[in-house]
Chains A and B, each alone.
Chain A
Amino acid sequence: MTRHVLAVLLLASLACAACAPVRPWERDALARPDMAWDPDPLGSGLGRHIQFSKEGSIDAGPGGGGGCGCN
Chain B
Amino acid sequence: MVRPGLGALAAAALLAVAFAAPLRALELGDQAPAFSAPGLAGGTVSLASYRGKVVYLDFWASWCGPCAKSLPALDQLRREFAPGDFQIVAVNLDRNPAVAARFLKQRPVGYPSAIDPKGSLPGAFGVEAMPTSFLIDRDGVVRYVHRGFRDSDVDPLRKQIQKLVAAR
Is there contact, CB below 8 Å, between A25 and B13? no
A24 near B94 (CB under 8 angstroms)?
no
Tell me if B's interface is mostly helix, strand, loop or mixed.
Answer: loop
Q: Within 8 Å CB of A60, what residues of B?
A: none
Looking at the complex, which of A12-20, A37-45, A51-59 is the stretch in contact with chain B? A12-20
B13 x A10 contact (CB < 8 A)? yes
B59/A25 in contact, CB under 8 A: yes
Q: Taking each of A2, A3, A25, which has the highest tally of chain B beta carbons within 10 Å of its own beta carbon?
A: A25
Cβ-based interface call for B42 (8 A): no
A14–B16 alpha-carbon span in the complex (Å)? 8
Complex CA distance for A26 and B95, rounded to whole angstroms: 8
CB of B166 within 8 Å of the partner chain: no
* B residues less than 8 Å from A6 (CB atoms): 2, 6-7, 10
Q: Which residue of B lies closest to A30 (CB)?
A: B63
Q: Can you list 5 A-B contacts with CB-CB less than 8 angstroms, sorted by A residue number?
A: A3-B1, A6-B7, A6-B10, A7-B6, A26-B119
Q: B residues touching A (Cβ–Cβ < 8 Å)?
A: 1-3, 6-7, 9-10, 13-14, 16-17, 20, 22, 59, 61, 63-65, 93-95, 119, 122-123, 127-130, 132
What is the distance, in angstroms, from A33's C-beta to the closest C-beta of chain B?
10
Q: Report which of B10, B20, B122 forms a contact with A9, defined as CB distance below 8 A.
A: B10
Residues of A with C-beta under 8 A to B93: 25
Q: Using a Cβ cutoff of 8 Å, how many contacts connect chains A and B?
A: 60
CA distance A20 to B64 in the complex (A): 21
Closest to A26 in B: B119
Q: Report, nearest first, the 9 A-B pairs whose CB atoms are least far apart.
A: A13-B13, A25-B93, A17-B16, A10-B10, A28-B63, A31-B63, A25-B122, A16-B17, A24-B130
A32 — which chain B residues lie within 8 A by C-beta?
Answer: 63
**Set of chain A residues within 8 Å of B17, measured between Cβ atoms:** 13, 16-17
A31 to B1, CA, bound (A): 50
